Structures are given as structure tokens and as C-alpha cells.
Structure 1
Amino acid sequence: MRKFTGLLLAICAPAFFIQTALAQEEKTALVPLPSLDDFTRGEDGWGFGLGLGVEYESAYEGSDEFDFEVSPAGAVQWRKGDDIFFWAGEVLGWRGLRSDTWLLQASVGFEEGREEGDSDDGRLDGLGDTDEGVEFVLQARRAFDADWRYWLDGRIVTGETGNLGIVGVGRRFGERNDGTGSELSIAAVFHDSDLANEQFGVDPTQAAASGLDETELSGGFRSIGVNYNYRAYINDNWQIFGEALYERYSSDIADSPITRNNYEAEVGVGFIYVF
């Protein structure tokens, strides 16, 4: 869950991009939300997008260290009517539009764990590495009308390390239906005790090895977050995208000795070539 609207607009939305985007022929996306890429150009069959993104983000959950990370972007997609099957990096999934105002999505992916080496300052020394594993995501979005100007979002993430729930509301800006424009959402995040302790707890063994106070957390409210997405066509094949995230932790998470900041933040920008 992983973004500072003003900075992102300054980076991603100069007049050149806006003018060229407006010059594009309209290509209807499955759902016209910038946060959901659709490379099928509104047609049944295969869609491909390949690119690169650069993110400046917290080194780990609760970290006060920030790092740049370069990662591939894009996906392989296959569309049939109001359904898209996709493979994006370590995620395989499906999303489908129902009754013009319901978007359902299911996916399975690989969740990386935390490593002691994620902290260059040695603040994770003695805590060991947290588990990696497979996670499943079920999501439903409900628009207030068919143009997806306003929408509600519910998401359940379950995996070997615990469970996460997200409830949010969003607003789409822009008039085009090709998935370009910008989008702002606010979400409340909840987790169970297993995930809370996996990420922010300190068991007796870890406390002895790290010198941190032993900490056991219960499940419940985790954070409130604000997320901003931007997407535009530079020409018929090239897209520019950006994202910014700010997540404010609850007092229980902020009081954990692992948490050096009471928030997590990320800002990123990238390019994708749509075949």
C-alpha cells in the first residue's frame, strides 16, 4: 500500500503531456481509472505494456530511511468483453466489470518479506528476516454512476503471514475514458494480530538479540492513507504514469520500537510502451 500531489503534478503533468494526451484518439478502458492499467485499447484480445518505474520510498514498514528503487512496469493482458486476465510481474489475476458500476478483481501474488539488511543504519539487526509467501487478494469497487467519477472500494488480502482489510473512497479527475487523467483516494486499513506482530512486533528471542523492548500487538485499525495516481499518453504508444502515497499509522503501530516514523510514504514516476 503502497505518494504528495503537488510534487507529482509538477513532475508528471507539464503542458506538453496534457496537449498530446488530448490529441489522442479515445480508447475506452475497461474502467476509466488511472490506478488500473488497461493495455487492450478497448478491444478483445491481447494487450502488452512494458516499461520502467523509479520510486522513492520507505526502506521498510515504519522506517525513517528512504531509498530509490528501479523496477519494471507493465503487464500482459487478455481481454474478452468486460473481463481482463493479467500477468504483472509477480501477480496473476482477473478483473471484471459488472452492470457498469461494479468492478470485481481477484489475484494471487508473491509477497516479499523484510530482511535485516533493509536498514542501512542497522536498525533491524537482531530481528531476523520475516517470511516471504503467497498472498491472495479479493477486491470490489462500486461506482456511484457509470462514468466512475466517485467510487467505493473494499479489499481483503490474505496470506501466510496474516490478513489485511482495506475500505476506501475515491474520486476520478479528467473527462477521458481511456484510463488517463488523475485519481485521488482515501482508505482505512485494518490487520489481524498475526500480520501486526509479523511486521511490528518483537518476540522474546528478537528482543534478546536486538535490544529492543518485547512488543506484542493486537489486531484492529492499522492506518489511514491517501493515494494519488496519474496517467497520460505522450503519443499513441508511450504512457507516463505517477503515484504518491502517504499512510499514517495508528498509535499502537507508531509506538512499536520497530517503527521509526509514524508514517510510510512513497512517490514514483515511470514510462510504459503499449504495443
Structure 2
Amino acid sequence: MIKAVLQTATFLGAISCFGLVNATETRTPLVPLPSVVDFTDGDGWGVGLGLGVEYETAYEGSDEFELEVDPAGGVQWRTGDHLFFWAGEAIGWRTLARDAWLIQASVGYEEGREEGDSEDGRLDGLGESSSGAAMLLEVRYALAENWRYFLDGRVSAGEIGTLGIFGAGTCLACQPDGTGWEIGAAATFHDGKLANRDFGVNTRQSIDSGLPETDVDSGYRSTGVNVNYRNYLNKNWQIFGEALYEVYGSDVSDSPISRNDYEAEIGVGFIYVF
């Protein structure tokens, strides 16, 4: 996976070398971070539509990988330092406070795992895991001018359980229009409900699947690194790339559902900004 990430970096870097970077007028995003999408130009409506292709782990803990095509983009409306958005299965609001605090709140839908997610039959007998709405609260704090370094904290809570993510990141060669490279590292923690949704095996599931009954404690889940890239090919077309590598803690990797002790994904896509 690390090799794949490096290959993607080389590919996207090659695009930059051929003069496709900054081929448009400078936009004014809420914050100049590639991972915080802003299709507006100051105030008013912003719309972006596109597609992304991801090569990723088939499900949490899987040793199978799949290629998936997903829609990308969203609809946004901005007034000053407030931005309201709809993207995929989430709607939300984010705001910039005192030039150093980025606060975001959103509501989305988290889909559960299905037995068919494993083509090798590794999930047979486990049934479908729960799905449901989840609320996300995220706070970022800039440690340097232009968000060169920042701290990041996120908490997602809902019907399926609670997940906390705490990390830090840096923006490399980032431009005022929100393009460039962003690299982050974070540790994640889950409650018992979410832990057992993803990695636990109850009595009924144990009987049906043949896997040993497993109860996963709340607490530390994983540590990971992520890379985001975003750039404009011209006034309207935008290219983006992302990669994630996450290593599970011992409680998670010891689960019979975990066939790997890591999760990984890599993706690239294009968005047309109206």
C-alpha cells in the first residue's frame, strides 16, 4: 500500500510538472486546505459534480480489495465565514472563527456491512451490521499562518455507536485557492457498540458462521496517515486524489473478522465546478 501511495504521488506530481497547476484565476475558499472542499468563490452558491475511482479494502478488517466508482462533488451556499453544504449522504454547516478555528457540524447516513461484501465468503453467517444516521462534529485549529500546520479533532455519534478521531496535519505547497498537498496523522477510538458492530461476533453469529464468539472492548481502535491532493486543470475542471493507510490496535486485529491488521484505500477523481 505504501508503494501505491508513492506511485500516486508521482503520477499527480507529473501532472503538476506539465503545467496543469494553477491554470485558473485564484478562488477564495473558506480555508486553504485541499481536504476542505469549497466550490464557492467568496459568497453565494457553489456546485461541483464529478466522479471518483477508489481501490479500497472491501470492509473493515478485510484482506480483499475492490474497485469502486462513486459520485463526487456537492452543492454549497456560502455567506461570509459560514458555509452550508450537501454532499452525498450528508448535509452540514461549517464556519471559520477568529481566522484560526474551523468548526463543522453535519448529519449523514452510515451504511452497514453486508455478507456479500466478502466475495470469498468470509462474512457468511454474520448477517448485516446495523446502519443509521450519525452526527459529526469537527474542530480544526491552525497552528501557523495559512493553515500550514493544524490540529484536528472529530467525534461521530449515532445509532451505530461513537467514533473519535484526534490528529494533526500539514499543508504542503498549498495555494490560497485551496489546492496543493495535505498530509495528516490521527489516532481513532471507538465505544463498545461501534467496536462490536464492526469486529464483534455475538452468540447467534457464532453459531451461524462458525467463528468464535468475540466481544471487543471500547477504547483505542487504530492509528493512520492520510494524504489529500487537489488542483485545478483549468477554470472549471478540478482533479483530486486521496490515500489512507490505517493500522489496527491489538483488540481489533485479534478479532476473527479481521483478516488484516490494517485498512487501506487510494483514489483519484475529477470534478466540474460550475
Distance 2:17 2:198 in 1: 40
2:103 maps to amino acid: L
- Write the distance in 2 (CA, Å) between the matches of 1:111 and 1:98: 29
Partner residue of 2:254? 255
Pairs aligned (count): 272
2:47 is equivalent to residue 48 of structure 1: yes
- Residues 1:35 and 2:32 are matched in the alignment: no
> How far, CA to CA, are the matches of 1:72 and 1:15 in structure 2?
22
Aligned residue number for residue 142 of structure 2:
143
What's the CA shift for 1:126? 0.4
| Aligned counterpart, 1:244 | 243
Q: Which residue of 2 aligns with 1:8?
A: 8
Give the TM-score normalised by the residue count of structure 1: 0.96
Given that 1:189 and 1:221 are in contact with CA atoms closer than 8 Å, whether structure 2 keeps it comes out as: yes
Instruction: Summarize the alignment of residues 32-181 of structure 1 with structure 2, pairs less than 5 Å apart.
Output: 32-41=32-41, 43-181=42-180
- On the 8 A contact 2:58/2:117 being kept in 1, the answer is yes
Matches of 2:267 and 2:78, distance apart in 1: 28
Q: Quick check: 1:108–1:137 contact (8 Å CA) kept in 2?
A: yes
Deviates more, 1:178-187 or 1:5-14: 5-14
Structure 1, unpaired ranges of 5+: none
Q: CA deviation at 1:17?
A: 6.5
Q: Distance in 1 between matches of 2:247 and 2:232?
A: 32
User: What corresponds to 1:207 in structure 2?
Assistant: 206
Deviation at 1:24, TM superposition (A): 2.6
Q: TM-score, normalised by structure 2?
A: 0.97
CA contact (8 A) 1:17 1:233 kept: no
Displacement of 1:12: 2.2
- Aligned residue for 2:268? 269
Q: C-alpha displacement at 1:145, in angstroms?
A: 2.7
Please give the secondary structure, in 1, of the residue aligned with 2:24.
coil
Deviation at 1:29, TM superposition (A): 1.1
Go from structure 1 to structure 2 and tell me whether the alpha carbon gap of 1:150 and 1:77 turns closer, same or farther (over 3 Å shift).
same
Contact 1:247–1:265 under 8 Å retained in 2: yes
CA contact (8 A) 2:32 2:174 kept: no
Q: Which moved more, 1:49-58 or 1:8-17?
A: 8-17
Shift of 1:175: 4.1
Shift of 1:19: 2.0
Alpha-carbon distance, 1:21 to partner:
1.9
* Distance in 2 between residues matched to 1:16 and 1:114, nearest whole Å: 38
Aligned-pair distance for 1:16?
A: 5.0
Are the structure 2 counterparts of residues 17 and 240 from structure 1 closer, same or farther at C-alpha, using a change threshold of 3 Å? farther
Identical pairs, percent:
60
Report the 3-state secondary structure (helix = DSSP H, G, I; strand = E; otherwise coil) of the residue aligned with 2:147: coil
Counterpart secondary structure, 1:13 = helix
User: Quick check: 1:17–1:234 contact (8 Å CA) kept in 2?
Assistant: no
> What letter matches 1:90 in structure 2?
E
Say what the alpha-carbon RMSD is for the aligned residues: 1.3
8 Å CA contact retained: 1:17, 1:232: no
Residue 181 of structure 1 contacts residue 232 of structure 1 at CA under 8 Å; is this kept in 2?
yes
* 1:6 maps to amino acid: L
Equivalent position amino acid for 2:232 in 1: Y
